[in-house]
Structure 1
Amino acid sequence: MKNSKLFFIVFLLLATFFGFAQGGKKLDKIIKRDYQIIECTISKMSDKIVEYSLPGETIQISLDVSQIAKIDFASGRSQTFNVSQTNNSSSSGSPAIASSEMKTNTIAVLPVPYLNSDTQESSEEMAKFAQNDLYNKLLDKSSNILPLTVQDLRTTNSLLHSAGIDYKNIDETPIEDLEKILGVDNIVAVKVSYTINSGTTATTYNSGNAKVSNDNKKVKTNDVSTTTSSTQVYYYYTIYFDMYKDGSKIYSHTRKPFLAVKDGWMDSVTYLLKRSPIYVKK
């Protein structure tokens, strides 16, 4: 009788153990840079992508390493992905790009995301143009921002490119990491968001020749009217202007241009720059 009870208890323990082992399998955890957590089973890692499958599924999903902040493996090991490793790191987690030498009192101009808020489309051409415009504004006002000097735009973009950062993912990168990559202690970050509307205006012009009758009492006219129409495109901008020093935000302002014209954002950037804490009137 005792043996039967002992056998039954052992059977229950084994059943519980195997049931837990099968249904409670530990999973890997991917923590993305946007703080989303993915519980999964990682099957493959490279210097560019991580492949994984979700619980109960066999489909393999690929995720770019640039979107990952950390991985907690089921084995208990953790791996952190630094910004300097983005698109250039090895599966062992060793950084491939070192931080640049710090240049004090230097300000860098980041690429300017130029986003159509209706379509969510970004323009690479305008992002570069806006960055170059802001860079030139700082150079023109170099005497007003002393003791700061402006880092050469080619240097900034080259360092960002080496780290796998461009106008599309610049907002996802912490300022502290950007300062290390660029080797500067000051950063200006601008973003341009816009919508486009159009309107049609019709204008009518009247012209005619007056004729006077012989009795000087009646006036006859031959009226001619011409109507022309034109289409006007309106640009409604929102400018986000931020400045950072030693990793801390020292100035943040949002402005909407008064005139809905194509280049309206440029005047707003100038306006905000002149009111930033780095600018001194002379």
Structure 2
Amino acid sequence: MKINKVIAVLVLLLVSVFSFAQGGKKLDKIIKRDYQIIECTIAKMSDKTVEYSLPGETLQISLDVSQIARIDFASGRSQTFDVSASNTSSNTTSNNSGQNVASADMKPNTIAVLPIPYVNADTQESSEDMAKFAQNDIYNKLIDKSANIFPLTVQDLRTTNSLLHKAGIDHTNIDETPIEDLEKILGVDNIVAAKVSYTIGSGTTATTYNSGNAKVSDNNKKVKTNDISTTTANTQVYYYYTVYFDMYKNATKIYSQTRKPFLAIKDSWMDSITYLLKRSPIYVKK
């Protein structure tokens, strides 16, 4: 029994010594943007690099701060690194006002749907609500047919509109911005750019209804007839659309069509969009 107790005490002492040796010195922790964690001793820091050495080594390693998300120091202090500002300044393009705006990271084989100007050709008035509705219509059509446009993926509308908003671009000035600038701003290599122009007309048709009421006189010899005529006017509104439809790849126009719907009804432009999409070079029948 005494021997067992001695052995147990020795084991505990060895474990304590080992733990002290391992944990006697706290290490700094570098958390990289790719989620890798480096336990080390930081020797020097600057605006551009962090120099550190690994446990048991004297060699100093240099790491660019753009790769670092956070450093947890052995003292308990933490420092977070935000390099968005430096990235923006080195990767910019100009908007319609000549101001520098950030360019998004390029995502190959990605297509963005621009806001669709929806313009009354007579008054030149543009509807913001219809511009968003038309953009959403094309976006949904592409999403529904994602298998037919493979390997292309469709950029989320929130991302597209947010990036355009930051650059000061909307449905009123989208046509004034070069496609190559739009591709840089949105970070895509494919773009759908369309426009819906329309005029409104009307026509009136008249329908007449006749009815007669017969009345017998008291002596049963004379018959009186009252003829009643009613005319009803119906006014029909007609929408005459022209849909302009363009596709770009790497700033080069690869498809351009103009189509007028066969029917002059309010939503007939949507049928033209479907027709043009299915005949575009990105669409493959399955």
Q: Is the 8 A contact 1:210 1:221 kept in 2?
A: yes
After TM superposition, the structure 1 = structure 2 runs for residues 43-58 of structure 1, keeping only pairs within 5 Å, are none
Q: Secondary structure at the match of 1:157?
A: helix
Counterpart in 2 of 1:119?
123
Counterpart in 1 of 2:142?
138
Amino acid at match of 1:160: L
Aligned partners of 1:277, 1:111: CA distance in 2, in Å?
Answer: 21
Counterpart in 2 of 1:154?
158
What CA RMSD, in Å, does the superposition of the two structures yield over aligned residues? 2.3
Q: Is the 8 A contact 1:109 1:188 kept in 2?
A: yes
Residues matched between the structures, number:
191
Counterpart in 2 of 1:198?
202
The match for 2:94 among 71, 84, 88 is 84
Q: Is the 8 A contact 1:211 1:221 kept in 2?
A: yes
The match for 1:186 among 185, 190, 194 is 190
Q: Secondary structure at the match of 2:165?
A: helix
1:96-126 per-position Cα deviation (integer Å, ceiling 9, x unaligned):
x221111111100000001111111111111
Q: Secondary structure at the match of 1:121?
A: coil
TM-score when normalising by structure 1: 0.63
Aligned partners of 1:158, 1:144: CA distance in 2, in Å?
Answer: 27
Q: 1:224 to 1:178 in 2, by over 3 A?
A: same
1:211, distance to aligned residue in structure 2 (A): 9.4
Q: Is the 8 A contact 2:119 2:196 kept in 1?
A: yes
Q: Is the 8 A contact 2:114 2:194 kept in 1?
A: yes
After TM superposition, the structure 1 = structure 2 runs for residues 19-30 of structure 1, keeping only pairs within 5 Å, are none
Aligned partners of 1:144, 1:85: CA distance in 2, in Å?
Answer: 34
1:85, distance to aligned residue in structure 2 (A): 4.4
Q: Is the 8 A contact 1:84 1:181 kept in 2?
A: no
1:176, distance to aligned residue in structure 2 (A): 0.6
Q: Is the 8 A contact 2:207 2:233 kept in 1?
A: yes
Q: 1:223 to 1:152 in 2, by over 3 A?
A: same
% identical aligned pairs: 81
Q: Does 1:235 align with 2:243?
A: no
Q: 1:98 to 1:203 in 2, by over 3 A?
A: same
Q: 1:83 to 1:203 in 2, by over 3 A?
A: farther
Counterpart in 1 of 2:16?
none
Aligned partners of 2:238, 2:93: CA distance in 1, in Å?
Answer: 39
Q: Secondary structure at the match of 1:122?
A: coil
Aligned partners of 2:94, 2:195: CA distance in 1, in Å?
Answer: 23
Amino acid at match of 1:254: T
Aligned partners of 1:204, 1:239: CA distance in 2, in Å?
Answer: 39
Counterpart in 2 of 1:68?
none
Q: Is the 8 A contact 2:244 2:258 kept in 1?
A: yes
Q: Is the 8 A contact 2:149 2:284 kept in 1?
A: yes
Counterpart in 2 of 1:224?
228
Aligned partners of 1:276, 1:183: CA distance in 2, in Å?
Answer: 22
Gaps of 5+ in 1: 1-81, 90-94, 213-218
1:204, distance to aligned residue in structure 2 (A): 1.2
The match for 1:98 among 99, 102, 116 is 102
Q: Is the 8 A contact 2:96 2:176 kept in 1?
A: no
Q: Is the 8 A contact 2:122 2:199 kept in 1?
A: yes
Gaps of 5+ in 2: 1-91, 217-222
Q: Does 1:176 align with 2:180?
A: yes
1:229-278 per-position Cα deviation (integer Å, ceiling 9, x unaligned):
11111111100000001111010000001111111111111111111111
Q: Is the 8 A contact 1:197 1:234 kept in 2?
A: yes
Aligned partners of 1:157, 1:262: CA distance in 2, in Å?
Answer: 26
Q: Is the 8 A contact 1:257 1:264 kept in 2?
A: yes
Higher gyration radius (CA) = 2
Counterpart in 2 of 1:26?
none
1:162-199 per-position Cα deviation (integer Å, ceiling 9, x unaligned):
11111111001111110010000100001001111112
Q: Is the 8 A contact 1:88 1:163 kept in 2?
A: no
